[in-house]
Chain A
């Protein structure tokens, strides 16, 4: 591990990719605009110059081609790490992900595997409108055979990405783009705080892993459990501090496989549970979490499990902040749970 450095999310992701390109000659990066230019969010900046054009390269604008070619490269024995420029543009590649990558191991009884990590910026809060803001994670957790990871800070992003790349199953790695440059309090009218003021920006320069399937406890507490991930981890922290409520905040980090032990232990301890995600509500990942908590902790619960989510509409452009599950929505839910 050695020395550490202050990194924002992009720098931490870049560092993970750099290290894996260095350590493992089978790792290749591909995607739209990721080569010479270094990606529209600069996540691969400098990597083509350092590792060569055949290891970090631009692709045609075909998400189906990107993911399908990734499956083929993996079949050869490489460890492809494709980037899909925005999660909103992953749909043309869905058949290759859902019907192919996710099922290769199962249908061939292990003859073929797909150690591919698909990275993609996701989530809103950047006035991106409906095609640069979506959070489609529950589509992937619903598919049997894809691991789904969502980091919430630079330190986790690097460790999780390294673990994802080393994993022998396909992983979808969603990067909350709203927090690339700094954590988000949920107050869009306040200046953005840079990552450098946040402890999790202190990132080891070398190799380290954060195991997939392990949640992190961001804040210990006794009054209620809040299950969340990505951008919302920070918004929840703001609200919990404002309300001075003794919440236990669990940053899931990996949605699938899920750290159900941490969830169960926390929910049984506090007896109250709130789920917060930015994605739309109906059939969202929050429904899965609520069902699990209910199944496993029912007799410990003192209030119904609540969900705070984005609304069930496409992500609007100008009314973004009325749509976003911000402090007011979260505070309302916490107050309700605590009253029950």
Chain B
């Protein structure tokens, strides 16, 4: 069936392969890290066509000697820097505790953001607290930064009697409208066009709030991503479209999402959207980029697309075993280091922090999380009876319950009596 013309070489199908697999020694020396200010910070009102090169560079502030340098330096005061460090450390402490809770069988699932904390903590700090966030599942740092009660996050993770999502959602799929945090979907990239729509609505009403959206590099392959980019460009929407390029999408390296050919940031260029590529493990660079983008959006200069170049330090989720597909110790060799460690060293260099203070804060946050965990567990853990009333299962399908759901609800209640005996009480 194949047609082979004798004078032509046969075609070949290209299948991208990561450089390292289990058993290999990871070596990232080929990753080029441009000097700080290789491209200086342009004016926020710049026309996208004039700043193309930013999509191929790397916005950086913290240098290898831990000093903050260059035109992107947001010049935060020591108090803000310490708060940023604390928020990232809190996120890490929370992740460690909840990961362990899943391993202890207290819930079904968990996802850490280790190594990527800057991409949610520093971004949230650069936004106004009422700017609307449309996160993926790895932006718990936004909630922790915005002061969302930790116990509420844990109640959700345990699907317990105090979970305000009524035990309906998989752990970590939070929803927090009062913290301008959209309900998380398990379906990848669906939040992308939604964030654009929210920004369009805000613009159409003459509001001053903007929106921001996050997805992983793997998710940029979804159609929703591209629809969102088109809409954002067409309507000059006040939205910040962000890609957390942590190099992996479960077992698939970034090349499977198109990363072999160009940067993810460069995807914005074809749409005519201002695009930045940022050192995602440099919290000050992340902050500065978000600040730049937010200022643009707020002054009607339109959308910005940002790639954070980072690394997923841990497995995809508690269901994953990264040892089966990637080289060990990749994170240790990651040339851009660890965001917590980098900010800590910067603060120490400034004389505004010390190893002792760091250790003390580490312990304080671990205690805080542990104490809060006890509080949450008093409301129940998954599968141990302290869940929401059974009838809540039928609520919120619609505003008003139609007859068929009422019937099914009655049936469900009757089934519980049959299962657990006449002593059973509908809670």
- Chain A residues within CB distance 8 Å of chain B: 32-33, 35-37, 40, 53-54, 57-65, 77, 88-89, 91-92, 127-132, 281-282, 311-314, 316-319, 322-323, 328-329, 332
Q: Is the CB of A58 within 8 A of B412?
A: no
- Given the known A-B contacts A60-B221, A312-B405, A313-B405, are A318 and B1 also in contact in the complex, defined by CB atoms under 8 Å? no
Q: Is the CB of B169 within 8 A of A282?
A: no
Q: Is the CB of B387 within 8 A of A127?
A: no
Q: Residues of A contacting B324 with CB < 8 Å?
A: 37
20 A-B pairs within 8 Å (CB atoms) are namely A32-B252, A36-B251, A37-B251, A37-B324, A40-B250, A60-B218, A61-B218, A61-B249, A61-B252, A62-B222, A128-B108, A129-B168, A129-B169, A130-B170, A131-B185, A311-B394, A312-B408, A316-B168, A319-B393, A322-B412
Q: Is the CB of B221 within 8 A of A332?
A: no
Q: Residues of B contacting A132 with CB < 8 Å?
A: 170, 186
Question: Bound complex: CA of A53 vs CA of B14, how far in Å?
Answer: 9
Indicate whether B176 reaches chain A with its CB closer than 8 angstroms.
no
Indicate whether B4 reaches chain A with its CB closer than 8 angstroms.
no
Q: Residues of B contacting A54 with CB < 8 Å?
A: 13, 15
CB B385 to nearest CB in A, in angstroms, measures 10
- Given the known A-B contacts A32-B252, A313-B394, A317-B167, are A322 and B222 also in contact in the complex, defined by CB atoms under 8 Å? no
Contact among A40, A89, A312, A319 with B167 in the assembled complex (CB-CB below 8 Å): A319
Q: Residues of A contacting B251 with CB < 8 Å?
A: 33, 36-37, 58
- Given the known A-B contacts A129-B169, A130-B186, A311-B394, are A318 and B382 also in contact in the complex, defined by CB atoms under 8 Å? yes
- Extra 14 A-B pairs, beta carbons < 8 Å, given A92-B224, A312-B405: A59-B256, A60-B221, A60-B257, A61-B221, A64-B223, A129-B108, A132-B170, A311-B405, A313-B394, A317-B171, A322-B412, A323-B393, A329-B411, A332-B414
Instruction: Please classify the interface of chain B as helix (H, G, I), strand (E, B), loop, or mixed, using the class held by over half of its residues.
Output: loop
- Chain B residues within CB distance 8 Å of chain A: 1, 13, 15, 17, 21, 108-109, 159-160, 163, 167-171, 173, 185-188, 218-219, 221-224, 249-252, 256-258, 319, 324-325, 382-383, 387-388, 390, 392-394, 397, 404-405, 408, 411-412, 414-416, 418-419
Contact among B21, B252, B397 with A314 in the assembled complex (CB-CB below 8 Å): B397
Q: Residues of A contacting B222 with CB < 8 Å?
A: 61-64, 92
Q: Is the CB of B1 within 8 A of A77?
A: yes
Write the chain A residue with the least CB distance to B190. Answer: A92
Q: Is the CB of A33 within 8 A of B405?
A: no
Q: Residues of B contacting A328 with CB < 8 Å?
A: 415, 418-419
CB B326 to nearest CB in A, in angstroms, measures 10
Q: Residues of B contacting A282 with CB < 8 Å?
A: 404
Question: Bound complex: CA of A62 vs CA of B17, how far in Å?
Answer: 18
Question: Bound complex: CA of A323 vs CA of B250, how far in Å?
Answer: 30
Question: Bound complex: CA of A60 vs CA of B388, how far in Å?
Answer: 38
CB B260 to nearest CB in A, in angstroms, measures 12
